Structure 1
Amino acid sequence: MKTIIVGAGIAGLSAARHLKARGLEVLVVEASPFIGGRVRSAAVGDSLVGIGATWIHHPNGNPIAMLCDEFGLDRAKFDLSNLSAFQQLHDKTRLDEASSTLVRTIEDDFWEHFNPEGAQLGESAADLISCYFDALPHDIAHLRARALILNALETELCAPAELIGASNFVAQTQPYDGGDEIIAGGYSALVDCIATGVALRLSWPVARMSQTSSCVEVIGIDGTVETAAYVIVTVPLGVLKANTIRFEPTPPESIGFAIDKIGFGVFEKVVLQFKERWWTTQSTPNGMHFLSDTTFRYWLDISHLARCPTLVAHVAGPPAENLSSTPDMRVSDALTALHAHFDVVPPSTAAFATTWQADPWTRGGYSRLPPGVDGRLIDDLAQPFGRVVLAGEHTSRWRYGYVDGAMESGVRAAKQIIGLAAG
């Protein structure tokens, strides 16, 4: 029994590994020249930097962390909880320590009282933020805390707060804990381990697939055909929305409806390296929020990971829609944004900018639930139709948007294929 897996990201490779371990024939086909999908790393100067997913969020009990242990990959802590420690003011000055502490206290209180389970299906993250802050003083500390929370939510979930459903937070459970970690060597190190021994065909985009009662023909855009008993499709939700791959026969209406209604956001990064770490003298990993900039407003200092002075701008949701079209222009615009906040910004020594939304094989970042969209639609995406099964983070009911959700969806799809073959 041969299974073709479309997409060599974490979901596809995890499915292949599971099937291969049970002695089944597997071929993974990938449209791009790379494996890893949206968890790739890229060379920036002399460093290897994650240009897609980067962290293991909540590593304790997390299957990604356990897989790292199995492969002997080291992990390092990366504290994402102190990003408000360096808040750049409009007049190019930093908040003093007392003001920063007050803002963090307000942020902590917001999250402590944040109760999406009590929200209506049609309510948005913006509604929940307004519900909390509208009754409080409108002084600078509360306004700044509100802006930071809004910035963090929109960046993390790739969309304006008005388009992030309150149910988004209910549907994503947190079965794990332990803060945030980075894999030594980045996610590419894990991808390479998972892909070991897996049959791969790269640079082979799929145009359509036609299934009968006995097999599935997978046809590349070059016209060549591969035939298998079953197929697992792990392409991103954005690719499914774009109808890049034609299915014959058409998937059930429930799957088409889910593809249409589940949200898929934009997430881009701009990596800048410098000769010196000029932006702060603090020795701990840190980040910056620029509340007066509408595009490059969320930055991380990953110097300790890149082993040279490195800043990464995370641009998601509404700001990402306004990015320049080419990587060089994005780098130039990011440097211009820094110049607006600092008196002196030295030239960068190396740079890299992603273009995930423009990439026809990704079309964006990752999925979310808009207001009014029930998380049970994700379950519909995970149902087999004939000899075809979908996988990927967008099919993980409780961990969509997470790498561990993508990985577990691949294993789930592999088990469904085994069940279909046995039945």
Structure 2
Amino acid sequence: MKQRIRRGMKVIVVGAGLAGLTAAVKLKEMGAKVSLIEARDRVGGRVLTIRGAFALEQHAEVGGDFIDEGQQEITRLVEEQGLSLRSILRKGFAFVPNPGPGRRRRHILTGEKARDTLAHPLYPLVTAYRTADKRWDSPIAAQLARQSVAQWLDEVKADSTMRAVARSLRGFFLADPEELSLLALVDQLAGDVPGQAAMYRIEGGNDRLPLALAEHLGEDLRLNSVVRAVCQDRNSVRLTVETANGQEVSLQGAYAVLAVPATTLRSIHMQPPLPSLQARAIRSLKYGRTTKALLQFDKSFWRKKGRPRACGTDAPTGAFWDANEEQAGEVGILTLMAGGQASEDTQKIVAQRGVEGLVDALDWLGSRSATLVHSRIVTWEDDPWAQGGYAYFDPHFDPHLREWLARPHGRIVFAGEHTSVNWQGYMNGAVESGLRASEEVCAMVSG
């Protein structure tokens, strides 16, 4: 890449998830002297591949999992790092309603039929939203935003199937119908349908991408370092950083990129303070409760001809999908993705009955025909540096504020999946935001 920033100009990036790593590497390529600060003892943030815990050296994703067709930014970055993608879950997602205890067979709806259950009654609202160019600062968006999905379901006198499909979307939005703004659902239906485009994982594990990016930074990457304050004046930024041994050090640069979730951003002291609207946007943004369970069995009982390997469900254990169909071996790993209230429900099942309680909940799928070999469970709301899976928009979030999540503040620019308009909640959104942040710094230097 051609040098576009005065060589040696210091830029400090906070957060070594995909957003921060992407920004740091691109800024370094532009000629900047980069320091990347990360609170964890590893890179990747909410991209976390579990290795060494499963038989036959299999691995699975307990964080960011899917790369969708059309997500050009992350696809290009994967190629640039010499990595490759593997096609997965070719039949996409279906929907399985929870019939309650004691029923062995379940009716399975195709993803298209499940989508239409909500898309048809929402068509007038989706059409109106499109006429406003899907702008979040429009009166149409404001009206949609004030209503929850649950309130809309009551308004249209939704039947049990509609309500079950809507609740199953907590495996995608990480929020129940009572928590989710109707605007978020309409916005999704006005674009791509979740789980229906071709999906991919990175060959060998998604963590290979953040690890590859980190190699470009060497000693410019500092782990176990927590940013406590960011101060700026007309000429520079100064960060107060707490090191692993509890000491505070000061770092100075020309610009800073804050690539951390809003949950973490809220605890960083800013001087001068953020504009009131920006502070309000960051303060009011919610993050979804998420428990992800990886269950390895001695045989992949869910892999049957004609049956989808990924399903949304309104069951207490959430959505499920094949976690490693692209890997060799008769043993296989099944992912349970419990978003919203299902996260708490899943934790209760494990607390009361152990992991076997999750296995029993999959009896209808044939879990009793296999033996559980290994398991790993992660609850993201318990992670101090994430405090949730990813962002979602509830009825209390003012849609006019969304643009403020990504708006620069003096010499500080912001990145992270929550700042992405097109791919919020996705790994691609994180990468996209990191690219944007690097270009914004470059533009500030040039301007």
TM-score by length of 2: 0.81
Contact 1:264 1:366 in 2 (8 A): yes
Q: Does 1:414 align with 2:433?
A: no
**How far 1:382 moved relative to its partner?**
1.5
Deviates more, 1:120-129 or 1:212-221: 120-129
Q: Which amino acid aligns with 2:318?
A: R
Query: 2:94 touches 2:110 (CA, 8 Å); kept in 1?
Result: no
Contact preservation (8 Å) 1:270, 1:330: no
Shifted more, 70-79 versus 411-420: the winner is 70-79
Which residue of structure 1 aligns with residue 427 of structure 2?
403
Residue of structure 1 in register with 2:174 after alignment: 158
The 1:192/1:345 distance shift into structure 2, 3 A limit, reads: same
Q: How does 1:14-413 map to 2 (within 5 A)?
A: 14-43=22-51, 44-45=53-54, 46-57=57-68, 59-60=69-70, 62-70=72-80, 71-79=82-90, 81-84=92-95, 90-95=101-106, 99-100=107-108, 105=113, 107-115=115-123, 116-117=125-126, 118=128, 120-121=143-144, 122-130=146-154, 134=158, 143=160, 145-171=161-187, 174=191, 178-198=197-217, 199-221=220-242, 222-241=247-266, 243=267, 245-279=268-302, 281-282=304-305, 286-287=309-310, 291=314, 293-294=315-316, 296-307=317-328, 308-322=331-345, 324=347, 329=350, 333-340=354-361, 342=363, 344=368, 347-371=371-395, 373-413=397-437
Code of the aligned partner of 1:318:
Q
CA distance in 2, matches of 1:272, 1:54: 15
- 1:303 deviates by 4.3
Residue 180 of structure 2 aligns to which amino acid in structure 1?
Answer: I
C-alpha separation in 1, matches of 2:355 and 2:163: 20
How far apart are 1:277 and its partner, in Å? 2.3
Please tell me the residue identity of whatever aligns with 2:251.
Answer: E
Distance 1:80 1:346, change over 3 A: same
Contact 1:238 1:363 in 2 (8 A): yes
Q: Point out where structure 2 has 5 or more consecutive residues left out of the alignment.
A: 1-8, 129-139
Q: Please give the per-residue CA displacement for 1:366-421, whole angstroms capped at 9, x wherever unaligned.
A: 11121253434221122222221111111123322122221111111112212222
C-alpha distance in 2, partners of 1:341/1:75? 27
* One-letter amino acid of the structure 2 residue matched with residue 411 of structure 1: L
CA contact (8 A) 2:262 2:283 kept: no
Aligned residue pairs total 405
Contact 1:88–1:341, Cα closer than 8 Å, also in 2? no
Offset at residue 40 of structure 1 (A) = 1.8
> Which region of structure 1 is more displaced relative to structure 2, 354-363 or 372-381?
372-381
**Structure 1 residues 86, 324: CA separation in 2 closer, same or farther (over 3 Å shift)?**
closer
Separation in 2 of the partners of 1:78 and 1:126? 30
Cα distance in 2 for partners of 1:52, 1:219 equals 29
Offset at 1:331? 10
- Between the aligned partners of 1:340 and 1:317, the Cα distance in structure 2 is 18
1:273 Cα offset (Å): 0.6
Report the identity percentage. 26
1:203 aligned counterpart, secondary structure = coil
Contact 1:73–1:190 (CA under 8 A) maintained in structure 2? no
Distance 1:49 1:332, change over 3 A: farther
Distance across 1 between alignment mates of 2:443 and 2:216? 24
Aligned position for 2:133: none
Q: Secondary structure at the match of 1:370?
A: coil
Amino acid at match of 1:230: Y
Is 1:7 paired with 2:30? no
One-letter code aligned to 2:291: E
Opposite residue 64 of structure 2, the aligned amino acid is A
The TM-score, its normalising length taken from structure 1, stands at 0.85
> 1:60 Cα shift?
2.6
Q: Secondary structure at the residue paired with 1:192?
A: helix
Q: Distance in 2 between matches of 1:250 and 1:131?
A: 42
**Per-residue deviation at 1:103?**
9.8
Distance of 1:196 and 1:384 partners within structure 2: 28
Q: Which runs of 5+ in 1 are unaligned?
A: none
What SS is found at the alignment partner of 1:354?
strand
Distance in 2 of aligned mates of 1:36 and 1:415: 21
Letter of the 1:16 partner, please give it: A
- Per the TM alignment, residue 77 of structure 1 is displaced from its structure 2 partner at its CA by 3.3
In structure 2, how many angstroms separate the alpha carbons of the residues matched to 1:315 and 1:106?
19
Change (3 A) 1:76 1:88: farther
Shift of 1:54: 0.5
Cα distance in 2 for residues equivalent to 1:332 and 1:312: 19
